[in-house]
Amino acid sequence: MMKKIYLLGATGSIGRQVLEIIRGRPGFKVESISFNKNLKLGREIIAEFKPEYVAVGEYADMVALKGEFPRVKFGFGEEGLLEAATHGGDDGYLVNAVVGSAGLRPTVAAIKKRRNILLANKETLVVAGEIIMPMVREAGVTLLPIDSEHSGVFQCLKSGKREEISRIILTASGGAFRSLTRAELKDVGVEDALRHPNWRMGAKITVDSATMANKGLEIIEAHHLFGVEYDRIETLLHPESAVHSLVEFRDRSVIAQLSLPDMRIPIQYALFYPERVENEYPELRLEDLNKLHFYKMDYNRYPLLDLAYEAGKAGGIMPAVYNAANEAAVELFLNGRIAFLDIETIVEKAVADERNVENPTLDTVLRVDREVKSKILNQRWVK
């Protein structure tokens, strides 16, 4: 059976690996793609995979590409992204690899069209998990996580029922600065933050790994994906990044999912689910690793992780505030406008200043997202 793929974020790290996996395989057809500014790679993808519809970030880029690919339908901006997510019939799989809250509305639109979701955009569930998961159940669609940690939990749960879960344990590498003290973090720069020791990822998520905000977002996502209370979702530092997650069941049996730190593995699992297929990726050889290390998480060292638990437990709009403030702060850091430790200060202040709204609508969540980001990005910052 042909699997139709609607790929958002085609030129990003996850998007490129999705295309690498399905390249040359007869069981897949790329129906639509989106990308933002990487026109060079975007042109190559259009020429190779021949999608019916393409969404880009800017109107001028859309006009230029129309002249080069007259048989392709194009759109731009947010509306183009929505069309890319819902183009064509009701079947197929939306692979949402967009970074940030921009992935929320396309996910909602695809669910309403009863399209299955392969989700790499964790912000969708962080910002609006209380809205999304009921929609998924009502529509009867499949939502599969692409994050290595959540894919690992999903696979571990094949050994037991969700109501039998005692604990979910997500591991964290510690990012680029895991060996540094807080005092040593004062003078780190953008290039330092982007040197992740294990994973090959985009800039935003790499910075999030260094602050541990990424793990905070994953905790909130896990709560919604698996219906487990926050007090039963734990994190451990695991420098080797070989064990991605563990599930302890009520009989105290612990099931772990292991693989080398290669995002192609969870991506392939989601693309071919429920089948497992062979690949030529490097094998995990435990004798080469020799030792696996696990350390208790230090929340004083990583305050954004502790804050994520607080925002998640508060619910309502607070996870959206946490996420929006972090997105804006990371953008400021990557643009050289603030120091690394300022990211924490900005997110903490945004969460403290915001008054919660329980049971928010989608429009409320999106409004809060815009307002928090605008407030932070439009301030004058002294590095």
Examine residue 325 and state whether it is found in any structural domain, yes or no.
no
Same-domain pairing of 91 and 196: no
Say how many domains are in the chain: 2
Same-domain pairing of 158 and 84: no
- Rounded to two decimals, the pTM is 0.92
Beta-bridged to residue 34, according to DSSP, are 8, 55
Q: What percent of the chain has pLDDT over 90?
A: 82
Same-domain pairing of 92 and 217: no
Rounded average pLDDT over 66-85: 96
Examine residue 362 and state whether it is found in any structural domain, yes or no.
no
Distance CA 337, CA 229 (A): 37
Examine residue 118 and state whether it is found in any structural domain, yes or no.
yes
pLDDT digits (tens, 9 = 90+) for 124-180: 999 999 999 999 999 999 999 999 999 999 999 999 999 999 999 999 988 778 878
Examine residue 352 and state whether it is found in any structural domain, yes or no.
no
Same-domain pairing of 193 and 59: no
Same-domain pairing of 130 and 182: no
Same-domain pairing of 140 and 224: no
pLDDT digits (tens, 9 = 90+) for 253-262: 999 999 999 9
Same-domain pairing of 168 and 250: yes
State whether residue 67 is helix, strand or coil.
helix
Which of 286, 314, 342 is at the close of a domain? 314
Distance CA 360, CA 371 (A): 15
What band does 249 get if pLDDT is binned at 50, 70 and 90?
very high
The CATH number covering residue 141 comes to 3.40.50.720
Cβ atoms 119, 18 nearer than 8 A: no
Can you give the pLDDT at residue 193?
Answer: 78
Cβ atoms 8, 29 nearer than 8 A: no
Which of 263, 281, 314 is at the close of a domain? 314
Walk across the sheet containing 73-76 and list its strands.
73-76, 53-56, 28-34, 3-8, 93-96, 116-119, 143-145
Same-domain pairing of 178 and 249: yes
Same-domain pairing of 266 and 180: yes
Examine residue 371 and state whether it is found in any structural domain, yes or no.
no
Which of 114, 145, 176 is at the close of a domain? 145
Residue 377 has pLDDT above 80, yes or no: yes
Same-domain pairing of 211 and 295: yes
Strands 295-296 and 233-237: antiparallel
Range of the domain at 204: 150-314
Same-domain pairing of 141 and 154: no
Examine residue 373 and state whether it is found in any structural domain, yes or no.
no
Can you give the pLDDT at residue 184?
Answer: 82
Mean pLDDT of the chain: 93
pLDDT digits (tens, 9 = 90+) for 280-302: 999 999 898 889 999 999 999 99
Examine residue 328 and state whether it is found in any structural domain, yes or no.
no
Beta-bridged to residue 245, according to DSSP, are 170, 257
CB-side exposure of 333: number of CA atoms within 13 Å?
32
Examine residue 356 and state whether it is found in any structural domain, yes or no.
no
Same-domain pairing of 19 and 156: no
Rounded average pLDDT over 320-332: 96
Cα–Cα separations (whole angstroms), residue 105 to 148, 163, 304, 334, 381:
23, 31, 26, 25, 31
In DSSP notation, 221-289 reads HHHHHHT--GGGEEEEE-TT--EEEEEEETTS-EEEEE--S-THHHHHHHHHTT------PPP--HHHH
